[in-house]
Amino acid sequence: MTRLLVAGSLLVAAPLGPTLEQSPIRFEEIAAAAGVRTTHQTRTFDGPYADTLRMFTTGGASAAVADFDNDGLDDLFVTSSERGSRNRLFHNDGGLKFTDVTDRAGVGGGNDAKSIVADALWFDYDNDGWCDLLVVRFGTPILYRNQGNGRFIDVSAASGLTTFANSIAAIALDYDNDGRLDLLLGHYFAPINLIDLPTTKVLPHDLDSASNGGGVALWRNAGGGRFVDVTRAAGLGEHTGWTLDVGHGDFNNDGLQDVYLANDYGTDRLFMNQGGGRFRDVTATAIGFDTKKGMNVEVADYDNDGWLDIYTTNIHDEYMKECAMLWHNNGDGTFTDLSRETGTCDTLWGWGAKFADFDNDGWLDLFVTNGLRSAGPDNYIPVLVKMITAPGVDFSDLRNWPAIGNMTWSGYQRKKLHRNLGDHTFREMAAEAGVDNDLDGRGVAIADFDNDGRLDLYQTSANQPALLYRGLAPRPGNWVQLALTGRSPRDAVGARVTLTAAGRTQIREVDGGNGYAGQSTERVHVGIGDATRVDSLTIRWPDGQVEQFDVQVNRLTRIRQGEAARAR
């Protein structure tokens, strides 16, 4: 009788919550089967402050997507950070199978005695049609030129990218519209080599408004494989925050790429491109001064109003209620943080976050990684707070920070997947979708690795294995995918796509690596729901030319600037 009652209650209970099968967004984790389950290794340090330094350098787990061999399938580059550990280049063989081609390509290095790999970026710096690779380091970056035959050569020395910095983020953008992709690097620490410390005062002097970080560096692509540091000339030299991520987009629809800087321990910064190679800091009037721990810059028009919005993660945990920031672009030079109103505030200790339409319903969803350090049962926070509340303590001094040992700090956090409901709100559904892992996530890269029209998701984690989630939305809407080739820059970074289907207009911009520790595909993916045709497709190319194209739904279309659209 009891058994019957229990069985009956299960039958009644089942319809109350959506099951995995019913969820509109669903993923299957296949990293091992696909051959991309590589494990990131955090850098270990020597000396009395090894523990604290390791704690402050737990980034470096990044992933960058590009079709490096132009075979029509997006490939994957994944970094590691421990001395001697190797980055991995995975060639997409099709059918969600990858082959490690690192050795043949010659791109595994970077973690040497003086340098720590922190991020990676694909971009075609020489406009030859082959994606080149930048390996970002606490050290000097490595620029690999793609030779078009599966091999790369190190051209760093000749490139001029030889200035030491603790770089942690990089994007490629054509800030001066000269047709060549420039580089914006975000620097975390000031330019002090952490492996060979000249001083113990290397940490932020203030945990809410620090100004002793590394700032940013803007490298102008001068052509001929040379880059020139134009940070000061461009108006970015005054920024000395702890930059954790950099992002770009045309926020005021004037055809110029603007820049948002996410800063740890203090105010994020928004710089509007004035033209003529100059930026203007509009933080005060556009977003105001925050005291949060900015971790990520993701740019997209989440509410389909024709203006690019910005999402940045912060720390929102039991002991610190900062909220992520969803900067809604008001279209008048100001932004309003709507994270609470939209339901995207609580990401715990957030890291990389990406907008993508996982169910192709015409509204961009949002996946957010989180989690700092999952270790033993003891919690570091009470220990840390004891230090923080001690009178007159100098936060910048390594000697004052208590060792973390095997303690956990904001660890074992479940990832967040916010489904866009199309009414300015999101619903969190990571568990339903099967992506609520509790690893110490860092980067996110989105791509359609199997070209099935459902976006897949690759997540890196610090000192832990990476995950590949294959998109399996059960009833996805129709979609359009575009692979754009610009006249210059070739990979069309900055191109603005405006697509209308069934009365709904969406915009996309090709970005040059937005998002912390994760570069998504350069392809443009647009879900169009039940619409069976595209009413109009307009592309504003980086050089300002505007063209209209006809495209088919549910297929990848390759578009070359100045030519008619060709469906695959």
> For residue 377, how many C-alpha atoms fall within 13 Å in the half-sphere facing its CB?
0
Nearer to other proteins, 206 or 535 (CB): 206
Residue 432 is given by DSSP the state: H
Query: CA–CA separation, 342 vs 223, rounded Å?
Result: 44
Q: Which stretch binds other proteins (CB under 8 A): 101-109, 158-166, 385-393, 509-517?
A: 385-393
Minimum distance from CB of 391 to other proteins (Å)? 8
Alpha helices in 64-179 (DSSP H): 102-105, 156-159
Minimum distance from CB of 522 to other proteins (Å)? 36
Minimum distance from CB of 317 to other proteins (Å)? 9
Nearer to other proteins, 20 or 207 (CB): 207
Nearer to other proteins, 381 or 502 (CB): 381
Binding residue for other proteins, selected from 155, 190, 192, 207, defined by CB under 8 A = 207
Q: Which stretch binds other proteins (CB under 8 A): 88-96, 170-178, 377-385, 415-423?
A: 377-385
Residue 409 is given by DSSP the state: B
Minimum distance from CB of 439 to other proteins (Å)? 22
Minimum distance from CB of 204 to other proteins (Å)? 10
Q: Which residues, 254 to 273, sit near other proteins by CB under 8 A?
A: 266
Task: Show the site string, 73-112: x = touches other proteins by CB under 8 A, - = not.
Answer: ----------------------------------------
Q: Is 379 among the residues that bind other proteins (CB under 8 A)? A: yes
DSSP character string of 235-291: T-TT--SEEEEEEEE-TTSSSS-EEEEEEETS--EEEEEEETTEEEE-HHHHT----
Minimum distance from CB of 296 to other proteins (Å)? 17
Task: Show the site string, 287-326: x = touches other proteins by CB under 8 A, - = not.
Answer: ---xxx----------------------x--xxxxx----
Nearer to other proteins, 320 or 567 (CB): 320
Minimum distance from CB of 12 to other proteins (Å)? 22
Query: CA–CA separation, 247 vs 194, rounded Å?
Result: 26
Nearer to other proteins, 207 or 403 (CB): 207
Nearer to other proteins, 337 or 509 (CB): 337
Query: CA–CA separation, 302 vs 327, rounded Å?
Result: 10
Q: Is 211 among the residues that bind other proteins (CB under 8 A)? A: no
Q: Where are the beta strands (DSSP E) in 407-503?
A: 416-420, 426-428, 441-447, 456-461, 464-471, 478-485, 496-501
Sequence-separated (6 or more) residues with CB below 8 Å from residue 224: none
Query: CA–CA separation, 293 vs 290, rounded Å?
Result: 9
Residue 351 tokens read as: 């890291």
Residue 311: C-alpha distances to residues 122, 296, 426, 431 (Å): 22, 7, 13, 22
Q: Which stretch binds other proteins (CB under 8 A): 33-41, 225-233, 388-396, 501-509?
A: 388-396
Nearer to other proteins, 21 or 318 (CB): 318
Query: CA–CA separation, 206 vs 88, rounded Å?
Result: 37
Q: Is 392 among the residues that bind other proteins (CB under 8 A)? A: no
Nearer to other proteins, 32 or 385 (CB): 385
Q: Which residues, 448 to 487, sit near other proteins by CB under 8 A?
A: none
Nearer to other proteins, 228 or 289 (CB): 289
Residue of 500, 508, 515, 538 whose CA lies nearest to 307: 508
Nearer to other proteins, 140 or 379 (CB): 379
Residue of 190, 310, 185 whose CA lies nearest to 242: 190
Minimum distance from CB of 379 to other proteins (Å)? 6
DSSP character string of 165-182: EEEEEEEEE-TT-SSS-E
Minimum distance from CB of 424 to other proteins (Å)? 22
Residue 246 tokens read as: 């950099």
Q: Which stretch binds other proteins (CB under 8 A): 34-42, 49-57, 120-128, 284-292?
A: 284-292
Sequence-separated (6 or more) residues with CB below 8 Å from residue 196: 114
Nearer to other proteins, 391 or 544 (CB): 391
Minimum distance from CB of 212 to other proteins (Å)? 15
Q: Where are the beta strands (DSSP E) in 268-399?
A: 269-275, 278-281, 298-300, 309-312, 316-317, 320-321, 325-329, 335-337, 350-356, 365-370
Nearer to other proteins, 146 or 267 (CB): 267
AA letter at 9: S
Residue 72 tokens read as: 């029509």
Nearer to other proteins, 339 or 463 (CB): 339
Beta strands 464-471 and 478-485 are unpaired
Q: Is 209 among the residues that bind other proteins (CB under 8 A)? A: yes
Total residues at the site for other proteins (CB under 8 A)? Answer: 21
Q: Is 388 among the residues that bind other proteins (CB under 8 A)? A: yes
Query: CA–CA separation, 86 vs 187, rounded Å?
Result: 22
Nearer to other proteins, 321 or 399 (CB): 321
Query: CA–CA separation, 205 vs 131, rounded Å?
Result: 40
Binding residue for other proteins, selected from 155, 192, 197, 381, defined by CB under 8 A = 381
Minimum distance from CB of 60 to other proteins (Å)? 24
Minimum distance from CB of 394 to other proteins (Å)? 13
> 240: buried, middle or exposed (CB in 10 Å: 19+, 13-18, 0-12)?
middle
Q: Is 382 among the residues that bind other proteins (CB under 8 A)? A: yes
Q: Residues interacting with other proteins, by CB under 8 A?
A: 206-209, 266, 290-292, 315, 318-322, 379, 381-382, 385, 388-389, 391
